[in-house]
C-alpha cells in the first residue's frame, strides 16, 4: 500500500468526521497527517515500527496506531465504522465549490443525494432552494460550482504535471541518440492548469527514441507508439504525449508546439507580411520556397528581426508587438528571489521547526525567511496567543544570535475579519518584523464589503503584505468578489505589498492581476505559504506566474537584500 493510498484513507477519515460534525481539531489532525504523508520521501509501508511513524511530524500517536493497523492488515476498523455511519460517496459532493460538510450532510439527509450528478439534477429542478438555510443564490452557486468542477476535471494543476515531465526530460537527454528534449504546450508556458502534457525531442533515430520513451519507469500503459508520436499513461494516471522530430526542424517544431495557438497565428501573420512562411518544419521564403531556418528556435525571431519571447509570455497579449519594438521586460528569474516571506512553522499549523525551515532556506541560497504563523483568531489552524508569541520570539532571537549570514524575521499572518479588523492590538503588532494579513472567512460578502475589508487592512500602519488577495483555490473555490483595481491603487498609495502566493492550488494574485499591478506600480511579494519546509520549492511556480504577469526583479520586494527589504516594510518604521 503506497503513501498516496494511505494518505487518501486518512484524508477521507478527516472529511467523514467533518460531515459528522466532530471536533474541528480532530478533523484538522487527520487532514494534517494526510498532508504530512503526501510530503514524505520514504515509503510508509516500509516503516515498520510505531516509533518511526511517531517521529514523522504531523502524525500523532493515535493516528500512528491506525496507520499501523492499515499497513499490517490492509484494513482499518475505525475507517470501516465511519463508512457505515456516512455513505463515502458524500465525500464526492464536497468537491463541489461552496458545498461543505454541513451542506453535503443536509442534501443527503433531506433529499438522499449521494452523487454530484444527483446534486446537479436536484439544483436544476430547483429543489435545493427550498431547504433550510438555502436560497436561490446558493442553489445557483452550486450549479456554477458543478460546471466549474466539470471544466477543471479535464485540466490538471501545473505542479502535478511539471515534476513528472521534468524527470522524463532528464532521462531523455541522457541518451546519446536524442539531441534535444523540452517540455512544450501549456506546460512550457507554465499555465496554472494544463490540458495535455506535451514533450518534444529531436533524434536521427526516431524509432529508438520512441522505444526508450515508452519503456521509461514512469510509464504504466502505452496508448500509441510510432516514430513521430507516442502517447503513454504514467502511474499517476496522467497522459503524456511525445513528438519526435528531426534535429534540423527542432526549433520551429518547439515554437509550433509551445503555442499558444493565438500567439502562433499572430506570429504567422507577421511573417506573411514580410514574405515569410512559418510552420512546424521551418521558416521559408514564400516566393522561392527556400528554407531559411528552423534548427534553433531563435532562427524565427532573428529572421523576423524581433526579440526572442520567453515561453511564459506567449499568450498573444501584446508580447509580439513589444518584442518587435525591442522593449520586452527583463523578466524576474528564480535566482533573483532572496527569501520567502510567508511561512508557517510548528508553532501554528506548520509541520517544520523554525530551525529546519532555516536550514532548508539556506540550502536554496536564501538569505532570510519570514515566519508568519497564524494569529490568535484562527484557532483551528493553531493561531498563537500573545504568550505563545513571546515564547516563539525567544526561539527566533536565539537562532538569529547564532546566524551571521541569515536573518529570521518574526512575523504573523493576521485574519482580516468581516469588519476589516485584525487579531491583535497595536502593542502586540509592534513587536513583529513583518506582518501579513489575509481573509480566511466571510467569503460570501459583497464586492464592496470585501474590497473595503482589504482596504482597511492596507491602511493599518503595521500591515506590510496582503496574503492571497483573491482567496481562490484553483478548481475548488472561486475567488471572492473583490475590486482588484481599487486594491492595487490603494496598495501603491499605502506602500502595502500584495502577495503572489505560490502554493500550487492558489497562485494568487494570478497572471493578469500581476500585469495590472505592474502598470499601476503596486509592488508584489512572491511567497509560498509553505507548511512544510520543503514546500518552499513551490516558489518556482510563483516566479513562473510572475513572468506570465510580465514582472521584473524591481516589481518584487523579496528580490532585495534583507536591509533593503526592512527599509520598505511598514512595521519597522
Residues that bind Zn ion (CB under 5 A): 413, 438, 467, 529
Distance CA 390, CA 370 (A): 16
Nearest approach in angstroms of CB 342 to Zn ion is: 6
DSSP assignment, residue 7? H
- Smaller CB separation from Zn ion, 209 or 458: 458
Of 464 and 529, CB closest to Zn ion:
529
CB of 471 to Zn ion, least distance (A): 9
Nearest approach, Cβ of residue 377 and Zn ion (Å): 12
Minimum CB separation from Zn ion for residue 161, in Å?
Answer: 25
DSSP string, 458-501: HTSTT--EE-STT--BTTTBPPPP--HHHHHHHHHHHT-EEEEE
Residue closer to Zn ion by CB (options 114, 534) is 534
DSSP percent split of the chain into helix, strand, coil, nearest 5: 45, 15, 35
Least separation in angstroms between CB 24 and Zn ion: 17
SS3 213: helix
Question: In terms of CB distance, is 467 or 478 closer to Zn ion?
Answer: 467
What is the SS3 assignment for 59-123?
CCHHHHHHHHHHHHHCCCHHHHHHHHHCCCCHHHHCCCCCCCHHHHHHHHHHHCCCCHHHHHHHH
Write down the least CB distance from residue 508 to Zn ion, Å. Answer: 10
Nearest alpha-carbon partner for 44 in 69, 63, 71, 65 = 71
Minimum gap (Å) between residue 440 Cβ and Zn ion = 6
Q: 413 or 433, CB closer to Zn ion? A: 413
Cell representation of residue 350: 506548520
Reduce the DSSP state of residue 48 to 3 states and report it. coil
Residue 293 contacts residue 285 (beta carbons within 8 Å): no
Minimum distance between the CB of residue 529 and Zn ion, rounded to whole angstroms? 4
**CA dist 536 to 194, 366, 441, 496, Å?**
22, 11, 25, 23
Measured from the CB atom, the residue of 188 and 531 that comes closer to Zn ion is 531
Contacts of 126 (CB under 8 A, 6+ apart): 139
Closer to Zn ion by Cβ: residue 440 or 518: 440
Residues in CB range of 391: below 8 A, 6 or more apart: none
Question: Please, what is the minimum distance in Å from the beta carbon of residue 491 to Zn ion?
Answer: 17
Quick one: 105 or 374, whose CB is closer to Zn ion? 374
Residue at grid coordinates 500517536: 61
Question: CB of 465 within 8 A of CB of 436?
Answer: yes
**C-alpha dihedral (472, 464, 429, 437), degrees to nearest 10:** -10
Nearer to Zn ion, 438 or 460 (CB): 438
Amino acid at each position: 500500500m503506497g503513501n498516496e493510498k494511505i494518505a487518501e484513507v486518512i484524508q477521507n477519515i478527516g472529511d467523514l468526521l467533518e460531515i459528522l460534525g466532530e471536533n474541528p481539531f480532530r478533523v484538522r489532525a487527520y487532514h494534517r497527517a494526510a498532508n504530512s504523508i503526501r510530503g514524505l520521501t520514504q515509503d510508509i509501508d516500509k516503516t515498520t515500527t510505531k516509533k518511526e511513524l511517531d517521529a514523522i511530524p504531523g502524525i500523532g500517536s493515535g493516528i500512528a496506531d491506525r496507520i499501523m493497523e492499515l499497513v499490517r492488515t490492509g484494513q482499518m476498523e475505525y475507517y470501516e465504522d465511519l463508512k457505515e455511519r456516512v455513505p463515502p460517496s458524500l465525500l464526492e459532493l464536497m468537491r463541489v465549490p461552496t458545498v461543505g460538510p454541513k451542506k453535503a450532510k443536509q442534501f443527503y439527509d433531506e433529499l438522499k443525494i449521494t452523487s454530484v450528478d444527483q446534486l446537479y439534477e436536484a439544483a436544476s429542478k430547483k429543489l435545493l432552494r427550498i431547504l433550510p438555510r438555502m436560497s436561490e443564490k446558493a442553489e445557483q452557486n452550486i450549479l456554477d460550482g458543478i460546471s466549474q468542477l466539470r471544466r477543471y476535471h479535464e485540466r490538471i494543476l501545473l505542479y502535478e504535471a511539471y515534476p513528472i515531465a521534468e524527470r522524463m526530460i532528464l532521462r531523455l537527454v541522457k541518451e546519446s541518440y536524442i539531441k534535444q528534449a523540452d517540455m512544450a504546450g501549456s506546460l512550457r508556458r507554465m499555465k496554472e492548469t494544463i490540458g495535455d502534457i506535451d514533450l518534444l525531442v529531436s533524434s536521427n533515430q526516431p524509432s529508438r527514441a520512441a522505444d526508450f520513451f515508452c519503456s521509461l519507469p514512469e510509464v504504466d500503459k502505452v496508448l500509441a507508439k510510432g516514430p513521430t508520436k507516442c502517447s503513454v499513461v504514467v502511474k499517476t494516471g496522467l497522459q503524456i504525449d511525445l513528438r519526435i522530430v528531426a534535429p534540423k526542424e527542432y526549433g520551429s517544431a518547439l515554437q509550433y508546439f509551445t503555442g499558444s495557438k493565438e500567439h502562433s497565428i499572430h506570429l504567422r501573420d507577421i511573417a506573411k507580411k514580410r514574405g515569410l512562411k512559418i510552420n512546424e518544419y521551418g521558416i521559408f521564403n514564400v516566393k522561392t520556397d527556400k528554407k531559411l531556418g528552423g534548427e534553433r528556435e531563435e532562427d524565427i525571431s532573428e529572421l523576423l528581426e524581433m526579440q526572442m519571447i520567453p515561453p511564459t509570455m506567449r499568450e498573444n497579449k501584446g508580447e509580439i508587438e513589444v518584442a518587435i519594438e525591442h522593449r520586452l521586460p527583463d523578466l524576474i528569474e528564480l535566482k533573483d528571489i532572496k527569501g520567502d516571506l510567508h511561512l508557517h512553522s510548528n508553532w501554528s499549523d506548520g509541520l517544520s521547526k523554525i530551525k529546519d525551515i532555516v536550514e532548508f532556506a539556506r540550502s536554496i541560497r536564501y538569505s532570510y525567511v519570514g515566519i508568519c504563523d497564524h494569529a490568535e483568531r484562527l484557532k483551528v489552524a493553531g493561531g498563537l496567543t500573545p504568550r505563545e508569541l513571546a515564547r516563539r520570539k525567544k526561539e527566533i532571537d536565539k537562532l538569529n544570535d547564532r546566524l551571521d549570514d541569515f536573518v529570521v524575521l518574526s512575523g504573523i499572518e493576521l485574519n482580516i475579519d468581516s469588519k476589516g479588523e485584525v487579531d491583535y492590538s497595536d502593542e502586540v503588532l509592534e513587536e513583529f518584523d513583518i506582518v501579513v494579513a489575509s481573509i480566511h472567512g466571510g467569503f460570501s460578502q459583497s464586492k464592496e464589503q470585501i474590497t473595503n475589508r482589504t482596504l482597511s487592512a492596507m491602511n493599518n500602519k503595521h500591515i506590510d503584505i496582503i496574503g492571497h488577495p483573491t482567496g481562490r483555490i484553483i478548481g475548488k473555490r472561486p475567488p471572492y468578489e473583490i475590486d482588484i483595481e481599487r486594491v492595487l491603487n490603494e496598495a501603491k498609495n499605502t506602500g502595502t505589498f500584495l502577495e503572489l502566493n505560490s502554493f500550487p492550488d492558489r497562485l494568487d494574485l494570478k497572471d493578469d492581476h500581476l500585469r495590472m499591478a505592474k502598470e499601476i506600480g503596486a509592488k508584489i511579494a512572491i511567497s509560498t505559504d509553505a507548511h512544510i519546509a520543503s514546500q518552499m520549492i513551490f516558489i518556482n511556480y510563483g516566479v513562473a506566474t510572475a513572468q506570465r504577469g510580465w514582472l521584473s526583479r524591481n516589481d518584487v520586494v523579496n528580490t532585495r537584500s534583507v536591509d533593503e527589504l526592512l527599509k520598505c516594510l511598514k512595521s519597522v518604521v
